[in-house]
Amino acid sequence: MPEIIHVMAGAIADASGRILVGKRPDHVHQGGLWEFPGGKLEPGESPEAGLTRELAEELGIQVRASRPLIRVHHDYGDRHILLDVHRVEDYAGVPHGREGQPLDWLAPEEMDPAAFPAADRPIITALRLPPLMLITGEEPDRPDAFLARLGRALEAGARLVQLRAHQLSANDYAHLAQAAFDLCERKGSTLLLNRNPAEVANVARHGLHLNSRVLMGLSERPGRSNELVGASCHDPAQLAQAAELGLDYALLSPVKPTASHPETKPIGWETFAAWIDPVPLPVYALGGLTTDDLNDAFQHGAQGIAAIRGLWPQS
């Protein structure tokens, strides 16, 4: 087995949300590609200390606050990389290439994954995704009331919406999805359809969300090449399947007890962290969570939280 090289990297944003990237020298491993600044963790060094040291050496800045974003294991054949990425939330100084490396500021949506090492590509997805996923709740069979609630959620800042309405017929779901899509388009939010992909092949959407049964029955990634596709997972095998299919994200549940499934034993934060660590995908925590749990989610490696009751506006 090749040695695991633990690398710390920082996602540093400017006031407009662009992320700082640097170009690797041509003569090194993965030379000529863009990367997120950072470097190898030294023996006995904590991740936070390693990140602070590397960014001071490489960019001349002093990190004041950061939080975990994503950990990516990647086997390049000749070496195994653990890329431990933190979002830098506060720093002092002006970043500059102290080692002569070219730097650039790029919006996550403008990043070309092919221009980055393979291990960096899940980081781009994580940077594009928000920390909260709203899963729609009550009253999909009362479209006017349902859409009014959705409108209030979008006004409050919801950027990623999963349309969950299993009780509706395919035709009623399609009509509701079109109306929800129109609302999301107006607010610049992303709508994911939680439905069998075959039923919504021609329904307006920004992406698909798969339940675990559909996920485990697939042999290739469904949907269009330019849309988000994710899945609900409840164990390591399902997470591994999501990664194998090349999905963009996953949900893992239940982290805490839920009113909807009181008989299901929650996995807790420690198990959540252990199960997602090998998975090269952003993973949302789900199950009995509210925005008060967001920091716990970050500290255990989650992209953020997904919720129905915790995020869906009350009538």
Question: Tens-of-pLDDT digits for all 315 residues of the chain?
Answer: 668 899 999 999 999 999 999 998 777 777 789 999 999 999 999 999 999 999 999 999 999 999 999 999 988 877 888 999 999 999 999 999 998 899 999 999 999 999 999 889 999 999 999 999 999 998 999 999 999 999 999 999 999 999 999 999 999 999 999 999 999 999 999 999 999 999 999 999 999 999 999 999 999 999 998 899 999 999 999 999 999 999 999 999 999 998 777 788 999 999 999 999 999 999 999 999 999 999 999 999 999 999 998 999 987
Element (H, E) at 68: strand 62-75
Domains of the chain: 4-113 (3.90.79.10), 132-307 (3.20.20.70)
Residue 1: per-residue pLDDT: 61
3-state secondary structure of 21: strand
Residue 58: per-residue pLDDT: 95
Distance CA 108, CA 158 (A): 18
Distance CA 311, CA 290 (A): 7
Distance CA 148, CA 145 (A): 5
CA 269 to chain centre: 17
Pairing of strands 228-233, 190-194: unpaired
Burial grade of 295 (CB within 10 A; 0-12, 13-18, 19 or more): exposed
3-state secondary structure of 177: helix
Residue 108: per-residue pLDDT: 97
Distance CA 264, CA 250 (A): 19
3-state secondary structure of 56: helix
Instruction: Count CA atoms within 13 Å of residue 53 on its CB side.
Output: 12
